Structure 1
Amino acid sequence: MLCLLLDIRKDYKMNEYKKEGIIRLWMAEGLLQSGKRGKRIEDVGNEYFQDLISRSLFQPLSKDKPTILMHDLSHDLAIFVSGEFSCRLDDGDKAKFSGKTRHVSYSKMKDLESFEGLPLAKSLSTFIQSGSLDGTFSISMPQLERLLSIGGCLRALCLSNLDIIILPDSIGNLKHLRYFDLSWNDNIKEIPNTLCRLYNMQTLRLSKCGQLTRLPKDMGNLVNLRHLEIEDVPLEKMPPMMRNMKDLQTLCQFVLCKRRGSSIKELGGLPYLSGELEIRKLENVEVVEDVLEANLKDKRYLNKLVYLWSSDDAANESTRHGEVLDALQPHTNVKELRIEGYGGETFSNWVGHRSYTNMVTVRLSNCHHCCLLPPFGQLPSLQILKIYNCRGVERIGAEFYGDGSSNTKPFRSLKFLKFEDMPAWQEWSIPEGREDGGCFPSLKHLRIIKCPKLSGSSLPDYLPSIEQVEVEDCPEFLLCNFPSNLKALAINSYEDVMKFPSLQISGRYENVMKFPETLLPTTLTSLYIENLENLQVLNGEGFEHLTSLEELMIEDCEELQCFPGEMLPKSLTTLCLYELNKLEDLGKGLQHLTSLKELRISYCKNLRCLSGTGLPASLTSLCIAYLPSLEDIGDDFLRHLISLEKLEIKKCNNLQYNAVEENGKGVLEQLISLKKLVLSNCEKLRSLLEGQLPTSLTSLEIHVFPRLRDLNRMGFQHLCSLEELTIFNCENLECLPDQGLPSTVYIDGRRLLERNGQRLA
């Protein structure tokens, strides 16, 4: 088992998908023994994995994320224990094959060019990639045929992402092959039918083969196949006799074609299907009874189901669509459901039925003929609900919440609710007796997009857990009252903008000249004001009480001329000003923002002066960019920034600054915490490059200084912390400093490897 950890590099992080791949490799090598009756061999593999974690060979990174790390010491132990039985081809050493070699791993395609000794490995069992390939490679047909010719004992073979176009028929000679990975070969169009001779095959990975349109016709012969991965494969139909693969668990998609639409009943012979199943082209179902034979109602291991109709002419098939959806009723264990293109006028009774206690996510899209939504409020565990492009829905009322027979609140677990592209939707009402907001006690995020007729006057006023509301392209939407606990609200395409607390206020509206006119919720933490072309004044009094506001961004407001810096809340940590073309100065008052960490000012073409704009000592990041009119940044602008770690000054062609103070000490030298300095397209700031730089500097970038000839005056010998120097498009730079250059130097994108003789020309 340790030998097969060669698929993992040092400090390699594994998510759930990679973990499953390792377990399937163990399974292919016969390392997993069936446990108790009824326990899947994959479950045994998971137990082994947990055992390795308990012995610290694997380490979980955190309790919240299912990510596992293999420590480099454990990796080295695996290499040591494997001895002559394993061979790694990614070390740059010549491959050492012998009769004892069982396991080979590679990560660079050049390693496959020196396989002279590979025939010595007569009992080669595993040929896999180590982690993921370093780049894009291809394997030639002679190399591939040579590999297959000596792999008679192979149990696991990985040829992923090798730009394979044709798979030789000789693949059918690998009688012992149990694990075959051909994924990410985007140019392969056909799998030879000889592959169907591999009766021991357990795992076949074909995902991301973007031109593969059909599977071999005799796939049904692979009676031991357990995992068929065909994610993002544009299949046109399924091969016959799929029901013969009775142990099949992974089948990402099942496609029905016109002449064999009733092949859906093949699913009835696959009782152990698990994970996700997407059934496509359901309009091709010929006999509804065949859908019942698929027996989805008894497939208890499936947790995600996707039902897709792709026919545009669903109006004449409404009754058939309804009957098919009735027959597609899944097991109550399902956690995620997606229905797309359904043409029935009503949804089946099972959709939204309270018996689906595990349902967490539901998505409906392109269900054009349905007028009423299912009673999703009855689903006790539903957390995410997305409804797209249901053109027939005009009103959402009591039917959406359930029949009221349950004592629990509707949508009691719902956290995310989205409606998009609902052109006929006009009214959203709350059932009688539920105006207290009890319908959505857990809702945190509400999005309403492209609903042009929707009026918001009847929306619930009380949403006790709401944090974010986003409204876009809903011109009739008006929200006169907002929840007091709201933290973020994004608004686009509305007329009465001042009535909204907002994370993002966006749109070109003639009537918005002053913002805000009413008080915003004190819980607001982020505020974006964007693309309000007639906004002239920011009401400072409207900002003062936002004691929780941390982030403020104002972008593309053409008429804004003044900035109330002195009235911004002291809680502000990030301030970004973009494309404010009439803004000429920032005024005074920014120095009182004692929590401010980041300040960015860009693309304000008329901003001429920053004099008098004192900045707080708390600032750690400052970016001044694309300010063509800026000439002066004032004596106090940089002087007191003792916490500043990153300074960027870009494309301020008219900006001048005296690099040396009266006391003879350079301005930059006083920035005692500065770690990164970027100067770009600011020819008149050459004097900054002649002063002393702070010793704390770790990264220096100099871009587009055509008159700069040398850097010898910068005192590099004092920059003991400097790690990286980047110089770009300084065409007249002739020499680098004689002393103090860091170990990493990039000039015009190329790394300088030798510095003997500093002349560049």
Structure 2
Amino acid sequence: MNIDEEKEVQNLKNTGIEIVRKCGRLPLAIKVTASALASRDLTENEWRKYLGKYVGSHSMISDDIQGSLYLSYDELPHRLKQCFLYCALYAEDSIIERDKVTWLWIAEGFIEEQQGQLLEDIAEEYYYELIHRNLLQPDILSFSQARCKMHDLLRQLACNISREECFIGDVETLRGEYMSKLRRVTAINYKDKLVLPSMNKVEVKVRTFLTVNGPQSIEDALFKRFLLLRVLVLNCSLVQSIPNYIGKLIHLRLLNLDYTRISCLPKSIGSLKNLQVLSLRWCDDLHTLPSAMTLLSSLRCLDLLGTKINQVPKGIGKLKLLTCFGDYPVGDGSDNAVIQDGWKLEELSSLSQMRYLCLVKLERAAHCSRNAVLTDKRHLQKLILEWTEHGEGSYSKEDVSNTEKVFEQLIPPHNLEVMCILHFLGQQYPTWFGATCLSSLMSLVFIGVRSCVHLPPIGQLPNLKFLRIEGAHAVTKVGPEFVGCKKGDPVCDELVAFPKLEWLIFADMPNWEEWSFFEEEVAAADVRGEDGAAEIRKVDAQPARVRLLPHLLKLQLHGCPKLRDLPQQLGKDTACLKELSLSGRSNLKAVEDRPMLSEVLAIGYCEGLERICNLPQVTELRVSGCPNLSHVEGLGSLQRLLLGEDMQEVSSRWVPRLQEEHQRLHGEDLDIYTWTRVDNMGKR
């Protein structure tokens, strides 16, 4: 670094300190300001220009609005300003779901079209940009940042900026003249019936109307007077019917009736030519879709998740703009009437813009007449394949064979990123289930695959980050086939197994006994205690030049009572492993000698567990339901100990030694808490 560069860095440092001081040293204000500065040139002039907007101000923090936060908002492009302010319509501390809020932005017209891109893709870019700028906070429990929150101070800022056009509260308190200014309303309901204020001759220009604490009924005035509505959300209400007047809302683009008690949709819904989103999730009394549905030429999203639809209109393929279809009920194609029991798979062929697709009742699918029903969908990112769950042994060999043939033909496109397999009743996976076809896959979930004896060969998927396998009851052994490599295969010599996997979850696998990654491991010495009980220990039996799970952050094994031990190679290359969670492992005797494991070890309901030893990097230990745990030592980095209520007497044997060790190493007391919360460590 030359003298001029050193001088520039020092000047930036001094300016930065001044900016931090102007932020009142408020962490949120500093983070948001830093995000705003990141988009500017890294020069003193640019930073001074930013700071100059507050010349004469003692602090960026005012009584009502944090000035630094406002400045970061002010620097947003217009397209992002609207999206940011819209999030204030969510009640305080609410979870904001990516897929829902982006549909709202699209319906309001906030998303600028770009040639060659779907509106939904552009809306997601907006969402992640707001997170990147620290204006939305991602939920740490959400793997792909699909959920977020808005910080109270930022929400206050957004409410203040948009107070002339937005209202959140009891709509009965609104005065008629104020209604003429409003564009967006979140109605927080406190009564059985949602009563609107007296509007007399006031012109209502409300574009968005959302309800919270869903009412049992709604005045017809909502449908008669709010004629400019673009967004109408009546979810979680006890509304039983939608009047025909809704056909007059010709500007309506989004209609959300999730969790309502409607039993039918009016025929007039076919008049909503601008409707883009129709959400009918978990409508228990709704079983039929009207033929007018096929007239919704602008429809982009039809979500029927959890709604048991058994009569559908023929011709769903006419809705060529559909990008999202939740719970597409598959029919056997035997009925050619106007109203059918489900749609044939072939009807998907004309829906070329599909981005998210969930197929349900797949056991009813007939043999496809063409293999490319999904392959040519270049926008498809998320695919859910679901068969109806029945008791074991309830399907004939013919049913199983047909299911496997249909699955074999559902070849997804190479761009698929998320895939979920639910209650597959076949005994073997399709031949395309591997790295070649699923090269873009980032998240893969199996639930209720009870009949498959082996897991599919997915260890070579190059972009897989999240893997969850639950309810694989027939699996007794997981071996090299899971990695996609067998002994003698030359590829194994330089193999990276699960190269990008970060989360690995196994649950409800009651018959699983053995877990290995490579053939060489079978010949390795079995590591067991004197009484034959399993121990989790690290033994180096890994083949040369083989890397295993190099990016694994979290490993969870819940409800696998017969699993004797973890793979002997697990731990050598898993330098990133931060959290190991074990529950329902009755055969487990010891967890020890895991130097790679850092941060969190959570153990629940492992009745045979006796020892937790030599885990030098673990900073937090959570234990419950382990009545025989008698030795806990060698946890030099431990900072927090969380004990279940049932562990108080048992822990008295070893907690004093832990406290002495912590005092000796760190000069302070160990933080110990009683764990009363019921969560995923609960007994299965």
Pairwise TM-score range, normalised by the shorter structure: 0.5 to 0.7
Q: Secondary structure at the match of 2:245?
A: helix
Q: For 1:681-696, list aligned pairs within 5 A.
A: none
In the alignment, the residues of structure 1 paired with residue 131 and residue 567 of structure 2 have an alpha-carbon distance, to the nearest angstrom, of 54
The DSSP-based 3-state class of the residue aligned with 1:25 is: helix
The equivalent of 1:171 in structure 2 is 246
Cα contact 1:214–1:237 (8 A) shared by 2: yes
Does structure 2 retain, via aligned residues, the 8 Å contact 1:181–1:204? yes
The alpha-carbon distance between structure 1 residues 482 and 138, as it changes in their structure 2 partners (threshold 3 A), is same
Contact 2:587 2:606 in 1 (8 A): no
- Write out aligned runs for 1:597-676 (5 A): 598=671
Taking the aligned partners of 1:215 and 1:22, their CA distance within structure 2 comes to: 23
- TM-score, length-normalised on structure 1? 0.61
Q: Aligned-pair distance for 1:45?
A: 5.9
How far, CA to CA, are the matches of 2:431 and 2:636 in structure 1?
A: 49
Task: Please state whether the residue corresponding to 1:228 is helix, strand or coil.
Answer: strand
Q: Is the 8 A contact 2:382 2:417 kept in 1?
A: yes
Give the letter aligned to residue 202 of structure 2: L
Q: What code does the residue aligned with 1:280 have?
A: V
* Structure 2 counterpart SS, 1:456: coil
CA gap 1:464/1:20 in 2 versus in 1, 3 angstroms: same
Residue ranges of structure 2 left out of the alignment (5+ in a row): 1-78, 335-340, 522-540, 677-684
The answer to whether structure 1 residue 347 and structure 2 residue 347 are counterparts is no
1:536-551 to structure 2, matched below 5 A, reads 543=633, 545-551=634-640
TM superposition shift of 1:442 = 2.9
Contact 2:281–2:305, Cα closer than 8 Å, also in 1: yes
8 Å contact 1:3–1:78 — kept in the other structure? no
Contact 2:460 / 2:498 at 8 angstroms: preserved in 1? yes
Q: Which residue of 1 aligns with 2:296?
A: 222
Match of 1:596 among 660, 664, 669: 669
Q: Separation in 2 of the partners of 1:44 and 1:176?
A: 22
Please give the secondary structure, in 2, of the residue aligned with 1:165. coil
The unaligned stretches of length 5 or more in structure 1 are 491-502, 573-589, 604-761
Residues 51-91 of structure 1: per-residue CA shift (max 9 Å, x gap): 9999x9x94558996656656455444445x6xxx888758
Counterpart amino acid of residue 254 in structure 1:
Y
Q: Where do residues 275-354 of structure 1 align in structure 2 (5 Å cutoff)? A: 276-289=356-369, 292=371, 295-310=373-388, 312=390, 313-316=394-397, 317-354=399-436
Shift of residue 599 of structure 1?
A: 5.2
Residues 366 and 152 (structure 1), Cα distance of their counterparts in 2 relative to 1, 3 Å cut: closer
2:309 and 2:648 map into 1 onto residues whose CA distance is 51
Counterpart-to-counterpart distance in 1, 2:604 and 2:178 = 68
Q: Please tell me whether the aligned partners of residues 213 and 234 of structure 1 are also in contact (alpha carbons under 8 angstroms).
A: yes
Quickly say closer, same or farther: Cα 1:569–1:343, change in 2 above 3 A: same
Equivalent residues in 2 for 1:199-598, closer than 5 Å: 199-257=273-331, 260=341, 263-274=344-355, 276-289=356-369, 292=371, 295-310=373-388, 312=390, 313-316=394-397, 317-403=399-485, 404=489, 405=491, 407-432=494-519, 435-436=541-542, 438-456=547-565, 459-460=568-569, 462-465=571-574, 466-476=577-587, 482-487=593-598, 503-504=602-603, 506-508=605-607, 516=611, 519-533=613-627, 543=633, 545-554=634-643, 555-556=645-646, 567-569=657-659, 572=662, 594-596=667-669, 598=671
The equivalent residue for 2:209 is 128
Match of 2:185 in 1: 105
In the other structure, the counterpart of 2:28 is none
Give CA-to-partner distance per residue, 1:533-581, whole Å, 9 cap, x none.
567xx56xx63x4321222345535875965665334675xxxxxxxxx
Q: Mark the CA change 1:548 to 1:98 in structure 2 (over 3 Å): closer, same or farther.
A: closer
Q: Give the count of matched residue pairs.
A: 543
Compute the displacement of 1:327 (Å): 1.1
1:169 partner letter: N
2:289 is paired with a residue of what secondary structure? coil
Code of the residue aligned with 1:226 in structure 2: it is R
**Highest CA radius of gyration, 1 or 2?**
1
| 1:247 Cα deviation from its structure 2 partner | 0.6
Structure 1 456/336 Cα, relative in aligned 2: closer, same or farther at 3 Å? same
Structure 1 counterpart of 2:680: none
What amino acid does structure 1 have at the position aligned with 2:595? S
Distance in 2 separating the partners of 1:50 and 1:340: 29
Distance change in 2, residues 1:459/1:33 (3 Å): closer
Q: Give CA deviations for 1:350-407 in whole Å, capped at 9, x if unaligned.
A: 2123442221222223333323321111101222222233333333322221145374
Higher relative contact order (CA 8 A, sep 6+): 2
- Structure 1: how far apart are the matches of 2:159 and 2:428? 57
Distance 1:397 1:53 in 2: 40
CA distance in 1, matches of 2:312, 2:396: 27
DSSP 3-state at the match of 1:196: helix
State the Cα deviation string for residues 498-531 of structure 1 (Å, max 9, x = none). Answer: xxxxx4364555xx8xx65x84322233344544
In structure 2, what is the equivalent of residue 682 of structure 1? Answer: none
Question: Is this contact kept in 2: 1:457–1:477, CA < 8 A?
Answer: no
Could you tell me how far 1:219 is from its partner in structure 2?
Answer: 0.9
What secondary structure is seen at the aligned counterpart in 2 of 1:556? helix
Is contact 1:220-1:245 (8 Å) kept? Answer: yes
Q: Aligned partners of 1:112 and 1:346: how far apart in 2?
A: 53
Displacement of 1:225: 0.9
More helix by share: 2
Change (3 A) 1:190 1:330: same
